[in-house]
Amino acid sequence: MTKQQPKVPASDQTLRILLLLARSRGPLPASVIAAQLGIPRSTTYHLLATLLEHDFVMHLPEERRYGLGIAAVELSSAYGRQEPLARLGRPLIATLVEQLGMSGHLAVPLGRDVLYIIEERYPGTPSLVTDVNVRLPMPATASGRAILSQLPKAQARALFPNAESFVSAHTREYPITKYSELRSVLDETVTRGYAVERGSVTEGISSVAASVVDHRGWPIAAVAVTFADRDHGTDEYPRLAAEVIETAATLSARIHGRTPAAQPVTD
């Protein structure tokens, strides 16, 4: 059977560009996009310009490459804000909370922020700002750092191109003010195998988090536990992280039917 030609070729080509960028591990040159999709170069540049205007792609002029923009990231996280991910994650978070005796969360990326879609509070623990539907800046939270650490470096850099991108009214004292500081935190997160945040959101409260990944290893959410510093020292972080990583891996497997590669936990 002959494949039916799309009724709106430009729409078809635009969607194919977005899908190609979504499946790639990093930004691509326009020439590569055109060649892989069989779209004329001139048409590719016109479509990319339109996508760039609406923030669905971002341009890296020094590298002459294009990657997904903030609008595309927000669209991709819409899945996480709806029932499938929340329903799959809620029983896992509840079990984690019961095992560790501390509050647990599931958050998804939303532009430069994370959006909390599950908050399970352990009985007797104080209420936290990380409630359902609350947005907080990625660099200030363990969940955000876990997600950002799994992105290609060029993608993370594009999300935070200047000092203004680090300004936020959502935290008591923003701990990171430039990309070099963020990169150092993310590199430490990769080496450690899990993300940590100490007092960035609430004084005296810390969190440990691990990313939930899709079938390509792309971070789509993060599992975190939050606790008072007086109750748990840094020497306990590896033990807590092991449970968090296992929960994140289980959720990844439930979403996509496979278990992602294990992330090492180091002291």
Strand order, beta sheet including 205-213: 135-137, 113-120, 103-110, 219-228, 205-213, 195-198
Structure tokens at 92: 């896992």
Q: Identify the three-state secondary structure at position 109.
A: strand
Q: What is the pLDDT of residue 2?
A: 47
Residue 167 DSSP class: -
Please tell me the predicted confidence (pLDDT) of residue 83.
61
| Band of residue 261 on the pLDDT scale cut at 50, 70, 90 | very low
Nearest-5° angle of CA 229, CA 246, CA 146?
A: 60
> In the structure encoding, which two tokens stand for residue 191, read together?
């080496």
Residues belonging to the chain? 267
Among 234, 148, 235, smallest CA distance to 184 is for 148
Average pLDDT, the chain: 86
What confidence tens digit (pLDDT) does each residue in 23-62 have? 887 899 999 999 999 999 999 999 999 999 998 999 988 8
195, two tokens: 């993300």
CA 154, 26, 207, 221 torsion: positive or negative?
positive
CA distance 144 to 38: 36
pLDDT in tens, 226-257: 999 888 989 999 999 999 999 999 999 988 65
Whether the model clears a pTM of 0.85, i.e. scores above it, the answer is no
